[in-house]
Amino acid sequence: MFARGLKRKCADHEEDMGGALAGFRAVPSYSLQRQSLLDMSLVKLQLCHMLVEPNLCRSVLIANTVRQIQEEMTQDGTWRVAAPQSTGRAPLDRLVSTEILCRSMREQDGVHPAPGMGDDHVLGPGSELSTVTSAQTPRDPQNSVWEMDSPRENRGNFQKSLDQIFETLETRNPSSAEELFSDMDSSYYDLDTVLTGVVSRAEPGPCDGLQGLPPVATPASSSSCKSDLGELDHVMEILVET
Amino acid sequence: MLLSLPALHLQTSEHHPLFQLPHGRLGPWCSPSGSPAPLSCETGCGEGSWILVCRLLVPTQVSLLSMEEDIDTRKINNSFLRDHSYATEADIISTVEFNHTGELLATGDKGGRVVIFQREQESKNQVHRRGEYNVYSTFQSHEPEFDYLKSLEIEEKINKIRWLPQQNAAYFLLSTNDKTVKLWKVSERDKRPEGYNLKDEEGRLRDPATITTLRVPVLRPMDLMVEATPRRVFANAHTYHINSISVNSDYETYMSADDLRINLWNFEITNQSFNIVDIKPANMEELTEVITAAEFHPHHCNTFVYSSSKGTIRLCDMRASALCDRHTKFFEEPEDPSNRSFFSEIISSISDVKFSHSGRYIMTRDYLTVKVWDLNMENRPIETYQVHDYLRSKLCSLYENDCIFDKFECVWNGSDSVIMTGSYNNFFRMFDRNTKRDVTLEASRENSKPRAILKPRKVCVGGKRRKDEISVDSLDFSKKILHTAWHPSENIIAVAATNNLYIFQDKVN
């Protein structure tokens, strides 16, 4: 599958970031590998056997891996936690939001994307997302408010999510199983929902129509966003089929 | 049901010349002069050759086995509706254990059954048959259950079997699934009382007024019957899944360990157990480490060890305190920074821990290595053996298909000179601690004829693949050897491969 999961040195990392902007490379970049590993781990945490109690050792090891990735991504500044969403949102809206989010991030970086420029690269052939990206929305002036989300808070959210999954594992009941799966379609990319299976209702933020924007620390984040979208697409296919 | 199929056994009339290696043919570790290395327990078993004694298949039909046991006969008979052409998942062997003399070999499977094999007794006429194991007893140890509170099934899979040392004519063993430990008594009966006049021919009690004579029954010989009865059931003590049981050297107590707790039991008391280790955090959100295996010291009844998912081993002394949350010794190897990856923690998780027979060393198995630790040195193992290091570059794929979570066991030989563990593709590995030699052998139907010498296998890691080598990408990861056992005093090993039990022994001249 991938090359050996060695942690590359800093220099390689940045170099890869720059390279990824040009499109997909033959060898996935480190951040892409890491993101894919993160996605895989989250899926593993969710897809527990419903009949038999899940293996606690396995769950703990996967959760530790996810934590490890999250810590590293937080240090890199590439960690983004989406704010909790309310249910009932149409999937398409979600996708729009995600795209707008990424576009806004890029705009902040001073990179003005041509209409639908890098998006097609990332979304892959036949993706529904590409049709969505044609419209560009103006940058939300309140983005900056969301960017103030500190990594610490994100980490707290994430930690809380991980915590709740252990509670879920511990006191499992059938209703939580439904909730676990009911949200997968629309909110996979929302870590909180993914990990808890329960949609938590956050207080309505200033950007009600958008997902919370994560802090944008480095220019590298835009390319990771593109790769994230590619992963999101891939994951969406899996989820929809389940 | 495990049945020794006659076709696989060496027929008494056959005389195989294979006991002697042909001239000029060197085994892979023969001495340069060409003569086979001496084969004895003391010199280690990495040298010499291994031959297949018998392969015991789990047949999917039930009728062939004699069913004199009273226990659960009906239930076993009801499970006969299985396809004969392939083994069902319930037949997958989940644990293998020799008893303390090596005369008996017990296996547990996913269907909750225990099958005990007995070694064929040596006789002058059938000297070839010595070393073969035949079915001795079969019983249903655990049944599937349902936890109504959590709406979850409790699997009947037997996680571990441990024998008690024999103290009278009967045999005792502990078997456990995820939640309940049971003590089974296996005893023989070869006589029965005859001559009661209290019942009529149909078995109905006669009217006492019609009985006019006093008749003392006499014991008459009968066909040997082996019966297994559950003597104790130790239930409701574990919230999490039991992964280990270990009989203490005092023969009065034993421990059972689950993911977060270890309990101490007295064999006579089933409604109470003492909690001796509890690593459950007050807040489950802070859980990052679980217990993976535990074992009592073979001689010191106050000492035990338990391993964790973070690659650490803790040795505890029960004399120190009632709750052994604070270890006496802590064994951990510093991480190798050059090998660091996201999978480092997962592959460091210890899947099995075993004391040496001497009690001086412990052996641990993690995903890629087997390590031997000296109890007197906590900061690193004294020996590390690579089981299948070629998998290091495949960790991501193995994580994806969950193979990285496979729990391999490891065993010592009787003299603690050789250690053995399983791998994929039905391979298992032996490491001779003295000569530092190792060998890879395969437990498969295709490659093993009875009494045939096992050919060592080799995995090719890149580069040109030589003949008889197998490339890493051709390995079958669904064929994994997780459970093996070594006879306590002889060079006889039992290897479980899915639903097959292979018994190999050292080639004897």
What confidence tens digit (pLDDT) does each residue in B471-485 have?
999 999 999 999 999
Record: contact A52-B240, CB cut-off 8 A = no
**In 3-state terms, chain A is what percent helix, strand and coil (to 5)?**
60, 0, 40
Whether the CA torsion B69, B73, B79, B85 is positive or negative: it is: positive
Whether the CA torsion B45, B49, B54, B59 is positive or negative: it is: positive
Of chain B, the percentage scoring pLDDT greater than 70 comes to: 82
The shortest CB-CB distance from B342 to any of A57, A65, A174 is to: A65
The shortest CB-CB distance from B259 to any of A34, A44, A57 is to: A57
Q: What CA–CA distance (Å, rounded) separates B50 from B68?
A: 36
Averaged over A109-126, what is the pLDDT?
A: 40
Q: Name the DSSP class of A1.
A: -
| pLDDT score of A232 | 61
pLDDT over 90 at B187, yes or no: yes
How confident is the model over B54-107, as pLDDT tens digits? 888 654 333 323 333 333 443 443 333 333 334 578 899 999 999 999 999 999
Specify the long-range contacts of residues A67-73, CB closer than 8 Å, at least 24 apart. A67/A158, A67/A159, A67/A162, A67/B288, A68/B342, A68/B345, A69/A34, A69/A37, A69/A38, A69/A41, A69/B342, A70/A38, A70/A155, A70/A158, A71/A155, A72/A34, A73/A34, A73/A38
Record: contact A55-B241, CB cut-off 8 A = yes
pLDDT over 50 at B336, yes or no: yes
The 3-state DSSP class for residue B116 equals strand
Record: contact A163-B286, CB cut-off 8 A = yes
Mean pLDDT for all residues in chain B: 84
| pLDDT score of B88 | 77
Q: Which two tokens stand for residue B387?
A: 């089981």
Averaged over A40-50, what is the pLDDT?
A: 80
Nearest CA in chain B to A68: B342
Give the rounded distance of the alpha carbon of B308 from its chain centre. 20
CB distance A226 to A121 below 8 Å: yes
Higher model confidence: residue B142 or residue B152?
A: B142
| pLDDT score of A5 | 54
A170 in contact with chain B, both atoms CB, cutoff 8 A:
yes
| Nearest chain A Cα distance for residue B241, angstroms | 8
Higher model confidence: residue A32 or residue A218?
A: A32
A144 in contact with chain B, both atoms CB, cutoff 8 A:
no
| Nearest chain B Cα distance for residue A70, angstroms | 11
How many A/B residue pairs have CB atoms within 8 Å? 94
User: Hey, what amino acid is at B210?
Assistant: T
| pLDDT score of A48 | 61
Q: What CA–CA distance (Å, rounded) separates B193 from B170?
A: 19
Nearest in space to B301 (alpha carbons), one of B268, B345, B255, B335: B255
| pLDDT score of A80 | 66
CB distance B277 to B313 below 8 Å: no
pLDDT over 70 at B269, yes or no: yes
Record: contact A58-B153, CB cut-off 8 A = no
The shortest CB-CB distance from B153 to any of A51, A57, A159 is to: A51
Higher model confidence: residue B82 or residue B229?
A: B229
pLDDT band at A239 (very low <50, low <70, confident <90, very high): low
Nearest in space to A69 (alpha carbons), one of A45, A93, A88, A49: A45
The CB density around residue B207, as the number of other CB atoms within 10 Å, is: 8
| pLDDT score of A51 | 63
pLDDT over 80 at B207, yes or no: yes
Higher model confidence: residue B224 or residue A123?
A: B224
| pLDDT score of B130 | 62
Averaged over A162-190, what is the pLDDT?
A: 47
The CB density around residue B374, as the number of other CB atoms within 10 Å, is: 15
Nearest in space to B106 (alpha carbons), one of B442, B491, B506, B487: B487
Q: What CA–CA distance (Å, rounded) separates B289 from B276?
A: 17
Q: What is the pTM of this model?
A: 0.68
**Interface pTM (ipTM) of the complex?**
0.82
- Burial status of residue A124 (CB atoms within 10 A of its CB: 0-12, 13-18, 19 or more): middle
Q: Which of B58-62, B316-320, B352-356, B439-443 has the lowest average pLDDT?
A: B58-62
Q: Which of A109-113, B67-71, B186-190, B343-347 has the lowest average pLDDT?
A: B67-71
Q: Which of B153-167, B261-275, B411-425, B445-459 has the lowest average pLDDT?
A: B445-459
Averaged over B177-181, what is the pLDDT?
A: 96
**Chain B residues with CB-CB distance to A65 below 8 A:** 342-343, 345-346
Give the rounded distance of the alpha carbon of B205 from its chain centre. 47
What is the total residue count of chain A?
242
| pLDDT score of A192 | 41
B340 in contact with chain A, both atoms CB, cutoff 8 A:
yes
pLDDT over 80 at B41, yes or no: no
The shortest CB-CB distance from A65 to any of B178, B285, B346 is to: B346
B396 in contact with chain A, both atoms CB, cutoff 8 A:
yes
The CB density around residue B357, as the number of other CB atoms within 10 Å, is: 16
Record: contact B152-A53, CB cut-off 8 A = yes
